[in-house]
Structures are given as C-alpha cells and as structure tokens.
Structure 1
Amino acid sequence: AFNEGPTIGSVVLRAKQYAEEVVVVDDGSTDDTAEIASLAGAHVIQHARNLGKGTAIRSAWLFARERHPEALVLLDGDHQHDPKDIPRIVEPILAGKADVVLGVRWGKTSGMPLYRRVGKRALDYATAAATKNGMLTDSQCGFRVFSRRALESLEPSESGISVESQILLEAQERNLRIEEVSIESRYDLDGSTYGPAKHGMEVLATVIQLVSEKRPLFFFGIPGGILLVSAFVLGVFTITIYYRTGVLAVGYAFVVQLFAIVGSLAVFTGVTLNAVKRMIKSR
C-alpha cells in the first residue's frame, strides 16, 4: 500500500473476517497508512521509501513463506478489490484444484473504464504471446491467490507493476495449475499510483523481455520468417520489372537484400537461443 490512508483501515477490517492473518506492506507512504493498518489489526511491514509494487509483493511473499500458510491472498489496499470475494477466490486452492487463482474483472457490471478495458486486453494478448498455455481472461488483475506449492516455487523478481506478469509467466513456465474466478472491482476511487500509460508501457516492456528469454524461437523466428517471405515476394516483383523493362529497380533490390539479411539473422538468432535454452533445461 502506498498512501492508502483513506481506505486501508476498512480493507484490513473486512479482510480479517476471512483470513487468519492480514499483512500490509507500507511501501514508503507519507501519510498515516501504516498507523491505520496497525490499529485495524494488521501486521505492518514498512519500507523506508517507495520501492514499487514488485518489491512490496516480494516482502509479503518472504513473510508468508515463514508462516507456511495454506494460501497467500494478494489484493490492493485502495479498496478496488472487495475482500468479501476472498472465500470464492481461495476455494480452488483449498480444494486442491489450482496452484494460482486469478481474479477476473470483466463483464458489463465491472464498471471498468473503456480505456482500461482496451489497455487490459492488449496486455492480455501480449502476455499470452509469452506462454504456450493460451489466453487468460485477465492477466493484470492484482487480486490473486497462491498455494503453498506456488509460494515455495515462484520468485517475484520485478520491482515495479510488471511483477504481476512476471509471476504469471513463471507460474506457467513451471506448469502450475491456474484458474480464474470472477470478482467485483471498484473504479470510482482514484487510488492508483500508476497512470494507465506508464502501467501499460512498463508491463509491455517486461513481457517483451520475457518473451525473448522464454520463447526465443517465437520472438525472433516469426518476425524473421515474415521478413524472408516478404523478401522473396518483393524479389520476384523486382525480377519481373527487370525482365519487362530491362531496368533494375535499385530501391526494391536494396529492400530485398535488407529484408533477407535481417530475416536470416533473426531466424538464426531464434534457432540458436532456443537450442541454448533447451541445453540449459536438460541439465
């Protein structure tokens, strides 16, 4: 929580109805977030300065590991998420059906502004490109639950808002079972620390980096293949012009060479990195 004084008390009190222990990570707030959370009955972990959502989640993660809980529930302190949904979102974990459960903020009644829906969907597609396990309905929701197995095997490493994509991609990489549960969300409270543009760009940059690391053949091979096909088609067109007019279209010929060289390098890079990745995995 960062400067969530107006809402953190009610979030803690409502969460206590469903959780054995409520932990609030005060990420360098300059208001009375920590004091209110403590008075409401939460265990408060304080950062001396604002370190970012990823670092706050990592602090909560390490604290939870020491407690060995059946499930770790993460939700925002700005009351965007309703703690009354905790029993439903935890149920697949307690029933042994999932290792990770994601809240889904979707549907006509969600109240999500249009710009958020468009941005969320774009990030969902970008995240899906980084994994072989298909599309998730809401990859960016911060209301999540993790089993004891997930808590021990995953390592939050991103310091910023993109930590949610990083954890999700790592969970899919480790073949953890992921389920989704619909939740209610509020958007009438202006408590977001990140603007939508900053949020989107940071997450997108992280997803691109993770795609290049985890699926190099996809990341480099597909663009490289497209460039090679384009070079072939444009090359045929250039040769046709030459036979018809006797004049070499120098501009087209240059583009053909450029596409062919860059495409070949991209495909070679993708194949090489994919082979290296497989060698590392086999060890």
Structure 2
Amino acid sequence: MVSGFETLNLHPQLKKAIDALGFKQMTPIQQKVLTYTLAGHDAIGRAQTGTGKTAAFLVSIINDLLNNPIQEQRYRGEPRALILAPTRELALQIESDAKELTKFTDLKLLTLVGGVDFDKQKKPLNANFLDILVATPGRLIDFIEQKEIWLDQIEFLVIDEADRLLDMGFIPSVKRIVRYSPRKEERQTLMFSATFSYDVLNLARQWLFEPVTVEIEPEQKTNNDVEQRVYVVEKKDKYRLLQDILRDEPIDKVMIFANRRDQVRRLYDHLKKDGYRVGMLSGEIAQDKRLKMLEQFKQGKNNIMIATDV
C-alpha cells in the first residue's frame, strides 16, 4: 500500500520542505488524519507523543494557508491559525517543527509562552502580519486581555494534548480562548489527546463540528530493556539511597522527578553541594535558563537533571 507524502496533493512549497526533511512514509496517525483534514474536516485523534501528530496538524494548516492566501486587507495581531499546547516545552517543539515546514514560504510564525518578557514577545506583532500562532493558554490570555491578539479571524484551531490541558487545570482558559474565536462551524478544529476520557470527548463535542475520530493504538509503554525497581524507604533515608544509586550504578545520565518546585530546589542544592553536575527544571526558572540547562544536559556538561513531574 502506498503511504508516502507524494500521494497527497500538497502545495509545492510545503512539499519542498517535506522533501528537505527527508520525510518519505507517513506515520499511521498522519496517514489516517491527513485524509480528512486536508479535505477540510474537523478531527479528534488519539495519539501519543512521538507518533507524528505534530507534523499531521502542521501539514494540514500550512497547506490550507498556502492554498488560500488572504486577498483583502489584513490587520496585525490577527493570526489565521492557532495551536494551543499545555507546556512551554511542547509549544517550543511545535514552533521548531513549524519553522522547518514553512522555511520555503512567506508564512509568519509566532510562539507565546510564559517565562519570556512580554514586550519582547510583542515586538514581532508590530513588525509583521501573523499567520500561525503557537501558545500556552495563560500567556495567550495575557495578550488577548492587553488587546495585542485578536482571534476573530482564526481559520484553524488545534488543541494539542487535551488530556494534559485537563490535568493541568487549563480548560477554563481554553474555554475563554475558544469563545474569542469564530463559531465551530466557521473554523476547522483539530484536537489530539493521548487518552479519550469522558471529559476529553465532552470537550470535543463542544468545540468540534462533525469531527472524524482517529485512534492509534498506543505502543507498548514499557520497553523490555528497561529494568524497573521500587524502593520502599523512609523519607529521612531517601537522599542517602539516591547517593548510593548514583555512586554504585553505571549511569550516564539521570532524570529525577519531584512533585513540587521546593523539592526540586532542595534536591538540586544538596546534590550541587556534594559535587554532582546537576541542572534543574521547574516553573520558577526563567525560560532562557531552562533552555540553557537542557542544552547543558544534552551536551553532557550536567549529567543529572531534576524536574517537576509536570
């Protein structure tokens, strides 16, 4: 069965970007979703991270915007497509993928996330028209309230990782954002979630218009090569146990998750004091420092990363 991107009637500039990235075969979620979304249908997809869902909705958006350029007068601060993501990291990853897929086009892209100076993010809005906006809900609300962003011209709405938006308490903000956009019959809406809970499906009924449903069976969550252990230990002995593991196990890089920011900070201070090469990620850290710590971890300058589990 032929399942390559060449089977899709994509805009030449988008096809050029896909070829440059070396994409040949579509993933299952791309193959199933693009059949409908390129024809203008709303869709709700059950797919986990790493399945290619980001490329699926970006290809849909970019192809539509390129094939339907705006002829009439435009205004700054009015995006044509909006992609909502639950976290800064996911939003920045979507931005990175979108830049690759739009590099042979004139489409303008902007990402709005917390932890970055408001005025710095506002600058591009004054310089250019905006085609694709990627945002976390809280920061987007800030820009809407300051009358820097208007959503009444949205043609495409993507809600990514809807289950995480629910878990993190962002749905009231998302509801406000959806209310600012055109009616569901007047826009194309895509929603993706790792799970189809009752709440996720209820939101889909409210926000999507006659959607198709696409489900990709999750891969085996636990790799057979991964060894899992559980240590039952009193709170006062946790740090000593962690030190023993770090000393005795042949570990190259370590991710340590904690529930709260103060726990992350306390553990970071302990390990730093004891001479470990350690970084940390939590909501209290500015975005530029978070990115720097991630880069240091990737390069091996730090081999331990402590993070909040959200």
After TM superposition, the score normalised by the length of structure 1 is: 0.27
Higher CA-based Rg: 1
Greater fraction helix:
1
After TM superposition, the score normalised by the length of structure 2 is: 0.25
